[in-house]
Structure 1
Amino acid sequence: MTNRLLSIAAVLSFASAAHAEEGFVPLFDGKTLTGWEQHSGTAEYRMENETIVGKTVPNTGNSFLCTAKKYGDFILEIEFKVAPGMNSGIQFRSNYYEKETEVEIAGKKKKFPADRVHGYQYEIDPSDRAYTGGVYDEGRRGWLFDLKNNEAARKAFKQGEWNSARIECRGSSIKTFINGVLAADFTDEMTKEGVIALQVHGIGKKTDAVGKEVMWRNIRIQELK
């Protein structure tokens, strides 16, 4: 009887897990960049072994490989690996400036050209600061939720390995996770919908930073109703 109950429990658990997976759809087919388009900078993006690889190039601003479709409420999951010393990120609910726009970030005014991507960013930060999973408002307001008070999340990032990112957006609620550890948890009303994008941060004229790579794979999303 006990074995039978355990068998039934196992079946129910499997069915529940399968049902939870049903709502996810891939954003990247592993073979083409259908449904994606590049904006802002000129960093190099390529496909390799069912992975999107972003590569730094000199003399360009931040670059973004963006979904053509916009998303509002959703759960997004992505695996990523980043070279040490390279800054990157995953944009969500992001948009483009229609004309040159001046904003103030951390007390400093800065101008961004038309087509510049702006909006929420899941930070990818392999530096000693270790803010991977924090949320930065790219090209608009700056830090919304850093990880200076979240030591567990700062320690969750795996240097030189594949990491798992999860972003949950429900109305004004925004939550992020790094390898299953809660990183950011806050509310913000500014933007309710936008594209998903993969960022390669600009390196200016730093020749020693040319050719650094960040990789993303298993990109999938579950839209929430």
Structure 2
Amino acid sequence: MPINVPRLALLSTAVLTLLAACAKAPDASPPPAAPSAAAPAQAPQSAAETPAASDDETGFTPLFDGSSFAGWHLYKKPGEPVTGWAAKDGAIERISGGADLMTDRDYGDFDLRFEWKISEGGNSGVFYRANENNEFAYWSGIEYQVLDNDRHPDGKNGPDRHAGAVYAIYPPQGAVPKPVGEWNQSRIVAQGAHVEHWLNGVKVADYTLWSPEWKERVAQTKFKDWPDYGQAKQGRIGLQDHGDAVSFRNLRIREL
């Protein structure tokens, strides 16, 4: 049969046109769906949900040698014998009335780690960036609260008095202290105005010194009457004598 050239040409042109159209056609797969208002993006972890930043112990210096008060003194009594506290079995224990126990030197930006156990109904704390220019350490130093939440009256005075709190300023979020008589692991990280409190591997407080919020909170407490409170960028670390038995061990610090 003779080939019909015009019809063949038309067929070839149609095939080429179809191939060109396929080459230029957009991807048929649907575009990614926009986020639904009913399923918002996951929120950042809260302070209580954030895991411990690091268990790295590199660069830490012991604050306590396990058997003596080298590097420590009673509040406003440098060079005098330490009374009311005992250094035994690798721990510092408050055993009778005395005074707050302070480091000999100042610390500014640091990662402080320590363990503590409180007596039944007991109350104590750890001060940081405190000076010794006032009648008491808590007139200048900020306090990491150490407490038997269930039996001490402060446990009923509001969560900003509970163990791990920035005492009377910020309550601890998600704090789970160990039962009385068991060792708790704590951590204070201070870098410039940013400060964190940790308890048993959980960040329970995260705040900014000298911020409007900080100033507003301080203005609602007894600290408003003491102009040195929370103002220093460096100072002593102190163990509070609140009249109750308490023990501290494994005190170590890394300067930042």
Aligned match of 2:254: 222
Work out whether 1:30 is the aligned partner of 2:66.
Answer: yes
Instruction: Give the deviation of 1:184 after TM superposition.
Output: 1.1
Aligned match of 2:3: none
Instruction: Give the deviation of 1:28 after TM superposition.
Output: 0.5
Work out whether 1:170 is the aligned partner of 2:191.
Answer: yes
Work out whether 1:45 is the aligned partner of 2:85.
Answer: yes
For 1:21-100, list aligned pairs within 5 A: 21-39=57-75, 44-57=84-97, 63-98=99-134
Aligned match of 1:109: none
Give 1 or 2 for the bigger CA radius of gyration. Answer: 2
Instruction: Give the deviation of 1:35 after TM superposition.
Output: 0.7
Instruction: Give the deviation of 1:47 after TM superposition.
Output: 0.9
**Once structures 1 and 2 are overlaid, which stretch shifts more, 155-164 or 172-181?**
155-164
What are structure 1's unaligned runs of at least 5 residues?
Answer: 1-16, 99-112, 137-142, 203-211
Paired letter, 2:239 = L
Q: Deviations over 1:181-216 (max 9, x none)?
A: 1111101132211111111104xxxxxxxxx42111
Distance in 1 (CA, whole Å) between partners of 2:124 and 2:137 is 14
Distance in 2 (CA, whole Å) between partners of 1:77 and 1:183 is 14
Q: CA RMSD in A?
A: 2.2
Paired letter, 1:198 = L
Instruction: Give the deviation of 1:144 after TM superposition.
Output: 1.8
Q: Deviations over 1:105-134 (max 9, x none)?
A: xxxxxxxx3xx2131110001132271110
Aligned match of 1:122: 144
Distance in 1 (CA, whole Å) between partners of 2:180 and 2:76 is 28
Aligned match of 1:133: 164
Distance in 1 (CA, whole Å) between partners of 2:67 and 2:109 is 27
Aligned length: 168
Distance in 2 (CA, whole Å) between partners of 1:77 and 1:123 is 14
Percent sequence identity over matched residues? 36
Distance in 2 (CA, whole Å) between partners of 1:40 and 1:124 is 22
CA contact (8 A) 2:130 2:137 kept: yes
> 3-state SS of the aligned residue for 1:79?
strand
Aligned match of 1:8: none
What are structure 2's unaligned runs of at least 5 residues?
Answer: 1-53, 211-230
> 3-state SS of the aligned residue for 2:233?
coil
2:236 aligned residue (191, 195, 205): 195
Instruction: Give the deviation of 1:43 after TM superposition.
Output: 6.6
CA contact (8 A) 1:40 1:117 kept: no
Paired letter, 2:232 = T
> 3-state SS of the aligned residue for 1:175?
strand
> 3-state SS of the aligned residue for 1:144?
coil
Q: Deviations over 1:159-201 (max 9, x none)?
A: 2200011000011001001111111110113221111111110
Q: Which has the higher strand share?
A: 1
Paired letter, 1:194 = G
